[in-house]
Chain A
Amino acid sequence: MNLKLSVLGLLTIMAMATLKAQTKYIDKSGVIKFEASEALFEPVKAVNNSVTAILNVESGEFASLALMQGFHFQNSLMEEHFNENYIESETYPKAIFKGSLLNYNHSQLSETPIEVEIDGKLNLRKKEKNVRTILLVQKVDDSIIIKGSFSVSPSDFDIDIPKIVANKIAKEVVINLNFKLVAK
């Protein structure tokens, strides 16, 4: 009897441990693209393929981190200017978003994407910007796929655009995200 009880207890603990472990979903190679192109000028866009995203499926809390050096531009000189003159990535190496998916219900997820609102703060260059947008969330096999976009402006983060290039860089920077999170 005692043995049975302890086996049962052990199984319960193991089950709880598994349940606990599965509240966090992680993507360590998420994709963020941004574009600040103006018509007729050379496209100003970059992609980062190693963005981190973490979602707590119980609380809906969401966090994401992108290292600035991880953004790649087609034009290498543009990449250099982005890091050295605009973002100053040596001093401010990362952007972090922390927020929550509102009214997130993990059990409602299916292969059909549903709209979920997210609210949080984007922190870059020691400046904070409130971000509220609609994301598309779906569950495919064992992973959660999150897609969406929002826009910010360089002035939100005290990024000075010199007058000489001001008309080549859009005032609104569109940021696209694509994450595939798996249970940790």
Chain B
Amino acid sequence: MSNKRKLILASLILCIGLIFWGYLYTFHSEHRNISEEKAVAEFNAFELLNKFKQSNTNLHSSANQVIMVVGSVTTIEQNIIVLNDIVQINLLEDIDTSILHGTSITIKGRCVGYDELLEVVKIDQAIIITK
């Protein structure tokens, strides 16, 4: 095989590889695994709400970040827990029966943002760390 042919073959393989990588990157990129990401900060429920209420602009550093929140359970519904009536958490799994109203827990999840209709901060893809 001549050098020219080898070169053509090598670039062809490279091209196919790139196209395949591009395809995987575009259509099969993995979603974030929030439960395995490290939390960037820890707040109690009131601190978290205040952070959102104080920021005058809509821009907020905590949104879309993984955080830990400590609080007292005030509402339990299927896979939703509300802490101190001000932080609403959608859990990845159903809630086990040992969690009752008034239980103090720590959760880790992704901060979605501030909901001004209910005046709560919403968190999703959360897991319970301690109870």
A interface residues (Cβ-Cβ under 8 A, vs B): 26, 28-29, 42, 49-50, 52, 54, 63-65, 67-70, 75-77, 79, 83, 89-94, 96
Q: Which of B96-131 contact A (CB under 8 A)?
A: 110, 112-118, 120, 122, 124
Residue B26 CB within 8 A of the other chain: yes
Give the contact-size bracket for chain B.
20 to 34
Partner of B112, one of A29, A64, A69: A69
A-B contact pairs, 7 of them (CB 8 A): A50-B124, A54-B118, A68-B113, A70-B112, A89-B64, A90-B60, A93-B58
Give every chain B residue within 8 A of A26 (Cβ-Cβ). Answer: 118
| Stretch touching chain A among B7-15, B28-36, B38-46, B66-74 | B28-36
Q: How far is the CB of A157 from chain B (nearest CB, A)?
A: 15
Give every chain A residue within 8 A of B115 (Cβ-Cβ). Answer: 52, 65, 67, 94
Closest A-B pairs by Cβ, 4 of them: A67-B113, A76-B31, A65-B117, A76-B29
A93-B118 CB under 8 A given contacts A49-B90, A67-B112, A76-B29: no
Q: How far is the CB of B19 from chain A (nearest CB, A)?
A: 16
Q: How far is the CB of A40 from chain B (nearest CB, A)?
A: 15
* Interface contact tally, CB-CB below 8 A: 73
Q: How far is it, in angstroms, between the C-alpha of A79 and the C-alpha of B125 when the chains are bound?
A: 15
Residue B63 CB within 8 A of the other chain: yes
Give every chain A residue within 8 A of B25 (Cβ-Cβ). Answer: 77
Among B80, B112, B124: residue with most chain A CB under 10 A: B112
B63 touching A52, Cβ below 8 Å: no
A50 touching B122, Cβ below 8 Å: yes
Residue B1 CB within 8 A of the other chain: no
A42 touching B118, Cβ below 8 Å: no
Closest to A53 in B: B117
Give every chain B residue within 8 A of A91 (Cβ-Cβ). Answer: 58-59
Give every chain A residue within 8 A of B77 (Cβ-Cβ). Answer: 29
Q: How far is it, in angstroms, between the C-alpha of A152 and the C-alpha of B112 when the chains are bound?
A: 24
A76 touching B30, Cβ below 8 Å: yes
A75-B63 CB under 8 A given contacts A52-B115, A70-B112: no
B29 touching A67, Cβ below 8 Å: no
Q: How far is the CB of B11 from chain A (nearest CB, A)?
A: 25
